Amino acid sequence: MTQPVLEINHLVKQIGAKQIIKDISFSVNEGEIFGLLGPNGAGKTTIIRSIVKLISKTSGEIIILGKNIDTSYTEAIQQVGAIVENPEFYPYMTGLQNLKTFASMSRNKISNERLEEIIQLVHLDKAINNKVKTYSLGMRQRLGVAQALIHEPKLLIFDEPTNGLDPEGMKEFRLQMKMLARQGVSVLVSSHLLTEMEQLCDRFAIIERGELTHIADMKQENLAEAEQLQTFHMHLEPLELSRELLTNWKIDYILADNGTSHFFVKSSPSDIPSLVKKLVSEDVSIFAIEAHTKTLEERFLEITKHNGGSME
């Protein structure tokens, strides 16, 4: 089995008598986008700051490509590119000057060709010679991604990277991360934006009050949902006959309260074809049928409600 790019084993962070992070373990695989999902204050940033040693952990083990950060920090951190808070730059210097300044601090020589490749990758070629003070938030975010990529890391770490970005900026960031993942780069990203994480991540972990309460593969979540009872929106005519048949067949449904023939039927997906045949045989006209798939937000609320937590 391929070695994980990042391994977190029994991570604990304690301040005084209070445990901020409570025995958290997870791993991130090569070419995977892994999300830490949870409300503000859940502990996501503390986990990320512990990984890059911006704060010291109380106990536990953090391994990056086989290197323990406690015993081989220099070797381990060489494989990481990170934006832990808002990317900071010299505003009166151009984007290119900022990148060259950062490149000069690298242990390895960064060629002009490498810089040009990264600039093209983050689509900043038209603005790279402008002063950073003229950049929009989205452009500064792209420059931050460029900075994180300079030394060709195997692991990228972003803490709330889409905060303040408009929908176009979020989409652009998402496409960049997916492209990098296809090239084998692993991405660890934290956010409280549920819809954005649903579109971005391959796997996600829910963090609540410093605890990891749920971890799942996004595809498996969708498959599991498909195997369970789902709600189907069905437009059936005539209304009274449809209602009588569904009631007699003991089909669980809710009728739209606006007086129209829109039914919300709860059923297993595998039972829908036979239900359609039965309705048609009784001269019911079916004008629409649409499955309602749970979003990550709904799954999150289900899980946190079950665990006694909330997004508040």
Could you tell me what percent of the chain has a pLDDT over 70? 88
C-alpha–C-alpha distance, residues 235 and 310, integer Å = 34
pLDDT of amino acid 223: 43
C-alpha–C-alpha distance, residues 207 and 41, integer Å = 10
Q: Say if residue 134's pLDDT is above 60.
A: yes
pLDDT digits (tens, 9 = 90+) for 37-46: 888 888 999 9
State how far Cα 278 lies from the chain centre: 42
Q: Say if residue 7's pLDDT is above 70.
A: yes
Helices (H), the chain: 44-51, 73-77, 95-104, 112-121, 137-149, 167-182, 194-200, 218-227, 239-248, 272-281, 296-306
Q: Say if residue 227's pLDDT is above 50.
A: no
Task: Say if residues 119 and 96 touch (Cβ distance below 8 Å).
Answer: yes
Q: What structural domains and CATH numbers belong to the chain?
A: 6-223 (3.40.50.300), 228-292 (3.30.70.80)
Q: Say if residue 14's pLDDT is above 80.
A: yes
Q: Which stretch of DSSP H or E encloses residue 52?
A: none
Q: Say if residue 141's pLDDT is above 90.
A: no
* pLDDT tier for residue 302 given thresholds of 50, 70 and 90: low
pLDDT digits (tens, 9 = 90+) for 65-110: 999 999 999 999 999 999 887 778 999 999 999 999 989 887 778 8
pLDDT digits (tens, 9 = 90+) for 108-123: 788 889 999 999 988 8
pLDDT of amino acid 312: 36
Number of alpha carbons in the 13 Å side-chain half-sphere of residue 145:
28
Q: Say if residue 198's pLDDT is above 60.
A: yes
Sheet containing 252-255: give its strands across: 252-255, 262-267, 230-237, 285-292
Task: Say if residues 205 and 36 touch (Cβ distance below 8 Å).
Answer: yes
Beta strands 6-15 and 59-64: pairing type? Answer: antiparallel
* pLDDT tier for residue 269 given thresholds of 50, 70 and 90: confident
Q: Say if residue 232's pLDDT is above 50.
A: yes
Measured CA distances, 52 to 105, 156, 260 (Å): 17, 11, 57
* pLDDT tier for residue 260 given thresholds of 50, 70 and 90: confident
Report the chain's mean pLDDT, rounded to a whole number: 85
Q: What is the mean pLDDT of residues 246-266?
A: 83
Query: How much is the pTM?
Result: 0.71
Could you tell me what percent of the chain has a pLDDT over 90? 48
* pLDDT tier for residue 238 given thresholds of 50, 70 and 90: very high
C-alpha–C-alpha distance, residues 134 and 215, integer Å = 41
pLDDT of amino acid 251: 87
